[in-house]
Structure 1
Amino acid sequence: MKVVFYSQHVLGVGHFFRSLTLAAGLAPDEVVLVSGGRQAPELKLPQNVREVHLPSLSMDAAFRGLHTEDGADVEVIKAARRDMLLGVLERERPDVFLIELFPFGRKKFRFELEPALEACRAAGPNGPAVVCSLRDILVEREDMQKYEHRVLATLEKWFDLVLVHADQDVQCLDETFPRTSEIPVPVAYTGFVAERPAPGARERGRAAAGLGPAEKLVVASAGGGQVGFPLLNAAVEAFGLLADRPDYRLRVLTGPFMPEIEFARLKARASDLPNVQVQRFEERFLDLLAAADLSISQAGYNTSMNVLAAKVPALVLPFDANTEQARRAAKLEKLGALAVIGGHELFPQGLVARICEVLTKHPFAPSRQVNLDGAANSAILLRRLVGKDSAQKPGKARR
């Protein structure tokens, strides 16, 4: 099976890294990952994955219009991307065209996706199955009726399957898409997509960090880093009040896209604190998290699943530009998997109290097991869809 997987991140890198984890889970099948956001440095691709990077387009924290990295004309970039995507599909001739989020999101990328979808359907029975890869929670919309109508019509016209990367016992699609029962193609829950720590990761990570049995490691992270400075700054300042606790250590991961001026401020403050280390990126982040005694982060999909996979206590501050992270954090807090902190707690004394509470009491343990096998289950569902042992794959090409 060959999969062309379209994944476009516009602010952080969460969508991209979830897609990368999913692509790795499709091994040994070949995946051509088509991405088009800011490129993350120091990236090592899984052996079964090839990346095709479209000219970058992104958005700001308010998710307004598209813009380019170098100030190039947006319309010129859009035309180049459209042609590149069509070229990938024509050259690769995949069994599956997997599209992250669209049509539930990424409306601004219809300029390249709709021509690609038209090309897939024009190929008839020889064309690929078309599948939507969807996270657990959708962001709220101002005109929900119009939005739902557009999504349903697009699914009816072009798609064969929707994969929802969630545990249905934790989060159902109809909570944020009320007309789920009207979706005209099959909807399958895969479980959450989550990378797992390598066996023995905690022991190796603690040894590599020089941690003794009684020492406590806190990892504060900000995903891509574009909107994480206030939280990380609060964590560093909190450790400024913990000078009498040399057994408490803090590793700060800012993310590759934190503005240089903010990164420099954190580095400068940490230079006065011997128990604080600041860096942009950690390739083996999940193993580091497994070695930790506490995670401090926002509540994005990837980091939340990393917390569950690493089985580490966590304090999370949901990103407040929309309700997605707050919904996820509330669900996981109810399960006992983490604790939510508010913006009003981002002052040193308040955060110190929460940190010390977790490190001394270890209060978080999920009340039920959460399905984190989303990548493996997605692979099973996609292989079943294309019917490797049948003469013709199911879907709209058969209509």
Structure 2
Amino acid sequence: MRVLFHVQHLLGVGHLRRAELLVAAMADRGMAVTVALGGMPVAEMPFAGADIAQLPPVRLDGANFKILYDGEDNPVTDAWRDARRDALLAVYERLQPDIVLMEMFPFGRWRFRFELEPLLARAALDRPRVKCVASVRDILVETKHPERAARGAELARDHLDAVLVHSDPALFTFDETYPHAASLADRIHYTGYVTEAGDRRKGVPTGDVIVSAGGGAAAGSLLATAMAARPQTPLADRVWRFFTGPRCPEDVFRDLRSHADERTIVERFDPQFQARLDGCALSISQAGYNTVMNLLRAEVPAVVVPYAEGDETEQEYRARRMEALGLLSVVSETALTPDALTAAIGTALAGSARPRPAMDLEGAAHAARMIEALAQGALAAAPAADARSPEGRKSA
């Protein structure tokens, strides 16, 4: 079974990590996966188990989402878009996939419709028709363009065979942040959350404090504030490990490294990050999908600072729901000070003994099984309740 997986990252690397876990799960089931990678390569995330078809890469300048830049730091042009569309379609022709899997589209990644709508149109021409699937995280960013959400639903009804929502509906349902979910109810399948496999070897207890900032492109304030707060926290004498992320600006990384000593470790990345969290006394981090799922898997006290620049709403929405469930403590980015962070650390440590609600964290394996079933014509249409309730998920 051949899967063409379109993956596009721009600012952070969370989308890449979730896609990497999905690829690994599909490879475990014997699928041949080709990743059409649209962002700059990230060496720390090589997509082992897949073939990489590198499209002409595109990036942002900081958190400015208004202008896309090509691999030579020039604003993208219509000619560039045409060339990249043709490159993606050429991958399709070479691969002749059984499944086209798209990360977020048509519920996000709207700026890449210039290549993804033609990809969907091309897949519709084959007989038997190639199955098309969207891979969507639990929460969508609040849009200022409701017409795009409506058009996305239209595209989904016309072209998608399944919408895999990487959430447990006991926590978040798709209709909470997508207004047209009801019209797609028969295609929505909840996979559970995508994170590290539950049967892996857990990290040994270390009592360290882990401070991380996802991909690191917007890491500076959080990391510097944690460094400043450390002396006034109950864990000041522990080993503190700062993971800046592979895309942390060099000047920010150098400044943090200048404070390093035998109990203050500053690194960009650790391939065993989940194991580090498993054994830690406390985590301080942003609140992206992957990091929060790592925290739920580790079941450790945690403080999160949701990223909120560029009209981002997703991290704050997720973090507040989980705070209400007693899973972590939240400090808003606009309120981030050493004192505020210290207070949140105290709250997180005090609440760490409370029982945790059960949550499905095996989303990668479930998604791979659903994709295989779809290709074989064995994935039943989701009942209408599946778009909004745990009961519906049980029969998906």
TM above 0.5: yes
Aligned with 1:292: secondary structure?
Answer: coil
Code of the residue aligned with 1:367 in structure 2: it is R
Aligned to 1:251: 241
The match for 1:343 is 333
- Measure how far apart 1:141 and its partner are: 1.4
For residue 17 of structure 2, what is the amino acid of its counterpart?
A: F
Counterparts in 2 of 1:302-341, with a 5 A limit?
Answer: 302-321=290-309, 322-341=312-331
Amino acid in structure 2 at the alignment position of 1:12: G
Runs of 4+ in 1 over 6 A off after TM superposition: none
Counterpart contact for 1:38–1:58, Cα < 8 Å: yes
Kindly state the Cα deviation for residue 238 of structure 1 after the two structures are TM-superposed: 1.9
Please name the residue that 1:170 is paired with. Answer: 171
Deviations 1:85-109 (A, max 9, x none): 1111111111110001001111111
Determine the C-alpha separation between the residues in 1 that align with 2:278 and 2:53.
32
Which residue in 2 is equivalent to 1:107?
A: 110
Structure 2: how far apart are the matches of 1:292 and 1:184?
40
How many equivalent residue pairs? 375
Task: Please say if residues 217 and 250 of structure 1, whose CA atoms lie closer than 8 Å, have aligned partners that are also in contact.
Answer: yes
Q: Does residue 121 of the first structure (1) align with residue 111 of the second (2)? A: no
Q: How far 1:347 moved relative to its partner?
A: 2.8
The separation in 2 between residues aligned to 1:300 and 1:389, in whole angstroms, is 33
Q: Which residue of 2 aligns with 1:153?
A: 154
**Residues 145-200 of structure 1, C-alpha deviations (whole Å, 9 max, x = no match):** x1232112111222111111100110011111122111275111111111136644
* Partner of residue 6, structure 1: 6
Once the 2 structures are TM-superposed, how far is the Cα of residue 387 of structure 1 from its aligned partner? 1.4
Cα distance 1:35–1:227, how it changes in 2: closer, same or farther (>3 A)?
same
Give the letter for the 1:11 counterpart: L
How many Å separate the matches in 1 of 2:275 and 2:330? 23
Q: CA 1:345–1:139 in structure 2 vs 1: closer, same or farther (change >3 Å)?
A: closer
Alignment of 1:76-95 (within 5 A): 76-95=79-98
The amino acid of 1:97's aligned partner reads V
Unaligned runs of 5+ in 1: 395-399
Q: TM-score, normalised by structure 1?
A: 0.87
Listed one character per residue, the Cα deviations across residues 3-35 of structure 1 (whole Å, up to 9, x for unaligned) are 111111111111111111111111222211111
Rounded to whole Å, the distance in 2 between the matches of 1:149 and 1:355 is 42
- Identify the residue that residue 64 of structure 1 maps to in structure 2: 66
Equivalent-residue separation in structure 2 for 1:113 and 1:143 (angstroms): 19
| Distance in 2 of aligned mates of 1:245 and 1:387 | 53
**Aligned partners of 2:6 and 2:36 also within 8 Å:** yes
Seen in structure 2, the aligned counterparts of structure 1 residues 14 and 366 have a Cα distance that, compared at 3 Å, is farther
Distance 2:76 2:236 in 1: 51
**Equivalent of residue 97 in structure 1, options 91, 100, 119:** 100
How far apart, in 2, do the equivalents of 1:128 and 1:329 lie? 37
CA distance in 1, matches of 2:57, 2:182: 36
- 8 Å contact kept, 2:326–2:351: no
| Root mean square deviation, CA, Å | 2.4
**Following TM superposition, by how much is the alpha carbon of 1:50 offset from its aligned partner in structure 2, in angstroms?**
1.7
Structure 1 residues 185, 80: CA separation in 2 closer, same or farther (over 3 Å shift)? farther
> Comparing 307-316 with 79-88, which one deviates more in the overlay?
79-88
* Preserved contact between residue 129 and residue 160 of structure 1 (Cα < 8 Å): yes
1:262 paired residue among 252, 264, 267: 252
Match of 2:21 in 1: 21
Contact 2:286–2:306 (CA<8 Å) still a contact in 1?
Answer: yes
Tell me the secondary structure at the aligned position of residue 230 of structure 2.
helix
